[in-house]
């Protein structure tokens, strides 16, 4: 990635208000594509590569964000993409649970711009 290039983010979120919020909070700092669900996510990774995935956990009855993460990472060009879980699950142990399931970061809802950017930057620049 060249220094002037903004990291590319794919946000998968089924709530339209949260979609708008994500786009509003992150545009300018990142190149962001926001899609509403599993089909949109799979189509997006068919045509582009992303540095970070922001995945809502409760996407649909058919597939969770965790399952979607594993499907996306099966693609060679996306196998190393960082992933952040976006979720309403905020009980003790939930963060650790998502990290063991393959996520690199975790942000609980409701979130702020700082919450998002800190999680994104931590996954892009691991200590």
* Whole-number pLDDT of residue 25: 96
Residue 1 confidence (pLDDT) above 60: no
Are 86 and 107 in contact by the 8 Å Cβ rule? The answer is yes
**Is the pTM higher than 0.75?**
yes
Interval 10-42: pLDDT, tens = 999 999 999 999 999 999 999 999 999 999 999
Residue 9 confidence (pLDDT) above 70: yes
Domains, the chain, with CATH or none = 8-120 (3.40.50.2300)
**Coil, helix or strand at residue 86:** strand
Q: CA-CA distance, 82 to 8, in Å (whole number)?
A: 11
Interval 38-75: pLDDT, tens = 999 999 999 999 999 999 999 877 789 999 999 999 99
- For the chain, give the mean pLDDT: 92
Are 18 and 12 in contact by the 8 Å Cβ rule? The answer is no
List phi, psi (to 5°) of 112: -110, 170
* Whole-number pLDDT of residue 5: 82
């Amino acid at each position: 990635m060249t220094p002037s290039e903004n990291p590319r983010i794919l946000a998968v979120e089924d709530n339209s208000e949260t979609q708008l919020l994500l786009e509003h909070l992150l545009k300018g700092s990142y190149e962001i594509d926001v899609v509403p669900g599993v089909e949109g996510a799979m189509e997006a990774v068919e045509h582009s590569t992303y540095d970070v995935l922001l995945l809502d956990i409760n996407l649909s009855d058919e597939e969770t964000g965790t399952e979607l993460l594993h499907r996306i990472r099966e693609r060679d060009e996306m196998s190393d993409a960082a992933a952040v879980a976006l979720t309403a699950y905020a009980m003790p142990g939930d963060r650790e649970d998502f990290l063991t399931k393959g996520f690199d970061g975790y942000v609980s809802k409701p979130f702020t711009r700082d919450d998002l950017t800190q999680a994104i930057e931590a996954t892009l620049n691991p200590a």
